[in-house]
Structure 1
């Protein structure tokens, strides 16, 4: 359907009618193309009779009106989108076979949608909320969606908690109001959320506009080259307009002037020819480096400190859509939409998003949402997906299956297969081994200026102070205590609580975060068959890692109370998650290492005792 934009002024309308130029207007038709004779009056049974059901034009007009709205996005409902282009800075084929990064100055069209995460469509754009930063690349190998945010981390690390998190942040099903009692209740059970909450309650949670805002892919992804070599990468968009967060007071003032101010600013800048630009950079890690950290690099609640950024291209936004609904509302993003050379990592949150994002678009728009112009790739689509509501494809073959010997049937592209990934361990349902929930929170707080820290404390305490349940409030404060003592003291004072009560809560929850690793070196064993036994003598699960002389640190082992593990390596080192700065100990072959939660104590067991220990 062709959409024509017509501008009116009060003086021109009567002039058009009087001069006869009204004949140049398009004839009004039904959706079926039939001309409409009267669009001003319904058909009735006489001057005072009822409206007739055979008035097809009226029925069609009302029924189409009733169906104008598709379901609102459950998150990221409030958004604005614009067109642009991405230009590669060079040939990065050493790391990825993705075509858009294969040559200097290679141009790829993009569509970008900025959004608020939690608040509904029509809500003020200046509210405190993470901002979605989703980019659809229309590459010559199909579409790639980089679906990120304006903050580098997220609230949770496992997709199984995503519905709960969103429910807690959304308005109450009873009062229809967002309530800090609800979302702090949830976050008091999710210590890894403190990193994101610290970002969110800083001024970065209220950007001044969309142009002066960075973007992040949040998750680790994989780059894969032609040889199948994998590099883990994190993506970041660096605004070339500068970085300009807003204080809570300034955001409130801007909202009072124009609650759609972010959209207006973006549209106006593009209209003036001031096209906003972002540079895309990546951080890179080899698979062998993933165990070099005391946190999990595939954890979406963590950043990669001290890993250099490599600039790979620049994005310029230069055109606004001709129709908001057809572009911004109907555009559909999914992290699973990748091209050869880019793959999802094992990040648990990302793994859930791979399914959920595409699934919600099928519900919101329909099974054939990828056929819409804004979602359609710029390359030919050839497959045997068929039928479904609003199918606009043309299937002109009898062979709607694969494989087939028929001419014109479909073949696979082996080069597009995913890379191989080694697997080990057993099927489990446990949290990630390396949590380290609080250290990066403290580092973030200490990186802020005095003014930024004061704003963060005021914003955080403003919501936490509304929480009625003291246990919830103290648990949140105990998390801040583990991150940074000054941070905790200032928020505690601002909400009227005592540090003594916070410290009691810290002791109750001390096991939530091991902040140090205690290391024990077991001496070279004279016999490779000698064993070392690790025994938990406490009433709580304990976590530890081991390594041989030539290996990386292992995954974390969880040792349940009064249980033992046996190792047969000739040379072994061990470290235990422990909040105390205890002195590392050394043990000899054949000894038992007792983990008591505060230190590691060795004892020389009887031979029979060692042989009876079960793994």
Structure 2
């Protein structure tokens, strides 16, 4: 091998014996100092001991000890990619949001997909609800739609969210995931039935992230330039078609490739088979939404597409993999509170809770200045804020500009474009029960829409899981819920659990 000195002292040129040219940069510490030897520590003699003055060793070990940041308390295990959104249908009649104005407009996007319950490294193909979080880098700032691959959720009050997640995580004494905990919660929370029905159907085991639909789940509000208000629900319809794994294939993949979803999507993008979705919406006139037959602000329920058909909005395409997984995906901090003019929150209680909880979780995970990280910064929008300082401030921090308001020094002023539309609020302050406690009609409707094969998969998978728990009372309560949704639903599960017990 022949070595040439480059004009830049930090670069060395090599020519191998095969005649190949290679460029190698020289190692530095994080402080930019030359790193003398990255293979052998400083020691007193060949056999040691080591010297505390070896700062390069100390720095390397100290940084290694701090490489991991707190994982997300939910949706810890996930993957992401970059791409674009192209508007195919002008929506200015319903919203003044800039990204939905003018056919052909393109907006940079990012998406993160995940599993709800499992920790980092947990097998991708274990049955679970999957996160479907999308970010639009609009001219008015970040807009995030943080949903799932299901149109509903397990609960309709954010007060119950920590309890629900505890039941799906690990048993306090054993540290193991426990079907007894999961079904104990479900059996005593009838509002979970709709989501349970979806979770244990074939949709609970998608083939890959690009082969599942996505949903905003909540009802949101759109406001147009005239101030007219509409309720909206988001649907991302996969262009690759829905494709699911069989339970057997999912179990096999869980042991062969724990990161199947991550690898499948990464490889597809590298090969040019870009995952894409057609974004569609249901538009519900304001007053009609308030008086709809089901509570449109209850995330355990859906709005019938027969009543309000899907309207195409545009194409959501992922065509670029992360440049660095940690920087681009692990540090991504999406939050439902990232809204832009023309798009507002609704009265959905779970959405209201998430407006606080998601951004607060990122402050815990990444620090007060998490929005300064590249993936969390808006594109093409200058930031003018009175927020200052905090751990790991890396921006100009406002320089010497005034850091309070009101002021007479020409500091930034309020922007009326961010004003939300007025709406009346009535009622008495209380810990109210759910507005619409019908938790069985829609799961029953869904069950009756299924093919015979889908019903068999659903009831087989429920029976295997529910039939494994210790509490016969919880089995009885859950079967009672299935029966209220549809008698055949309950009878099939009950019969299959009885058969499982006979074989024991």
TM-score by length of 1: 0.77
1:470 to 468, 472, 496: 472
CA deviation map 1:84-129 (0-9, x unaligned):
0001113211111100001111000001111111111111111100
Task: Provide the secondary structure at the position in 1 that maps to 2:383.
Answer: coil
User: 1:140 matched to which residue of 2?
Assistant: 139
CA deviation map 1:414-459 (0-9, x unaligned):
1211111101111111122212100001111111100110000000
CA contact (8 A) 1:295 1:435 kept: no
Larger gyration radius, structure 1 or structure 2: 1
Q: Distance in 1 between matches of 2:233 and 2:495?
A: 37
Task: Provide the secondary structure at the position in 2 that maps to 1:44.
Answer: coil
User: 2:164 matched to which residue of 1?
Assistant: 165
CA deviation map 1:8-51 (0-9, x unaligned):
xxxxx9973887956x3111101010011111211122334421
Q: Distance in 1 between matches of 2:272 and 2:19?
A: 37
In structure 2, relative to structure 1, the CA distance for the partners of 1:17 and 1:178 (3 Å cut) is: farther
CA deviation map 1:457-509 (0-9, x unaligned):
00011110112112111111111111000000010111129xxxxxxxxxxxx
**Which consecutive residues of structure 2, in runs of 5 or more, have no partner in the other structure?**
1-12, 500-504
Task: Provide the secondary structure at the position in 2 that maps to 1:315.
Answer: strand
Please report how far the alpha carbon of residue 295 of structure 1 lies from its aligned counterpart in structure 2 after TM superposition: 2.1
User: 1:348 matched to which residue of 2?
Assistant: 349
Larger RCO: Structure 1 or Structure 2 (Cα < 8 Å, ≥ 6 residues apart)? 2
1:396 to 395, 399, 412: 399
CA contact (8 A) 1:215 1:238 kept: yes
Please report how far the alpha carbon of residue 336 of structure 1 lies from its aligned counterpart in structure 2 after TM superposition: 0.5
Task: Provide the secondary structure at the position in 1 that maps to 2:127.
Answer: coil
User: 2:41 matched to which residue of 1?
Assistant: 42
In structure 2, relative to structure 1, the CA distance for the partners of 1:277 and 1:18 (3 Å cut) is: closer
User: 2:442 matched to which residue of 1?
Assistant: 440
Task: Provide the secondary structure at the position in 2 that maps to 1:337.
Answer: coil
**Which consecutive residues of structure 1, in runs of 5 or more, have no partner in the other structure?**
1-12, 498-615
Please report how far the alpha carbon of residue 329 of structure 1 lies from its aligned counterpart in structure 2 after TM superposition: 0.4
CA contact (8 A) 2:146 2:336 kept: yes
Q: Distance in 2 between matches of 1:189 and 1:367?
A: 38
User: 1:89 matched to which residue of 2?
Assistant: 88
CA contact (8 A) 1:383 1:410 kept: yes
Between 1:471-480 and 1:283-292, the stretch displaced more is 283-292
CA contact (8 A) 2:294 2:303 kept: no
CA deviation map 1:342-373 (0-9, x unaligned):
11111011111111100110011111111111
User: 2:10 matched to which residue of 1?
Assistant: none
CA deviation map 1:551-588 (0-9, x unaligned):
xxxxxxxxxxxxxxxxxxxxxxxxxxxxxxxxxxxxxx
CA contact (8 A) 1:296 1:435 kept: no
Task: Summarize the alignment of residues 408-557 of structure 1 with structure 2, pairs less than 5 Å apart.
Answer: 409-496=411-498
User: 1:384 matched to which residue of 2?
Assistant: 386
Task: Provide the secondary structure at the position in 2 that maps to 1:495.
Answer: helix
Task: Provide the secondary structure at the position in 1 that maps to 2:242.
Answer: coil
Q: Distance in 2 between matches of 1:141 and 1:91?
A: 17
Please report how far the alpha carbon of residue 290 of structure 1 lies from its aligned counterpart in structure 2 after TM superposition: 2.6
CA contact (8 A) 1:403 1:410 kept: no
Q: Is 1:104 matched up with 2:106?
A: no
Q: Distance in 1 between matches of 2:401 and 2:288?
A: 51
User: 2:64 matched to which residue of 1?
Assistant: 65
CA deviation map 1:123-150 (0-9, x unaligned):
1111100111100100010000100100
Task: Provide the secondary structure at the position in 2 that maps to 1:454.
Answer: helix
In structure 2, relative to structure 1, the CA distance for the partners of 1:181 and 1:140 (3 Å cut) is: same
User: 1:266 matched to which residue of 2?
Assistant: 265
CA deviation map 1:215-246 (0-9, x unaligned):
00000000011222211100000001111122
CA contact (8 A) 2:89 2:312 kept: no
In structure 2, relative to structure 1, the CA distance for the partners of 1:14 and 1:401 (3 Å cut) is: closer
Task: Provide the secondary structure at the position in 1 that maps to 2:96.
Answer: coil
Task: Provide the secondary structure at the position in 1 that maps to 2:194.
Answer: helix
CA contact (8 A) 1:294 1:436 kept: no
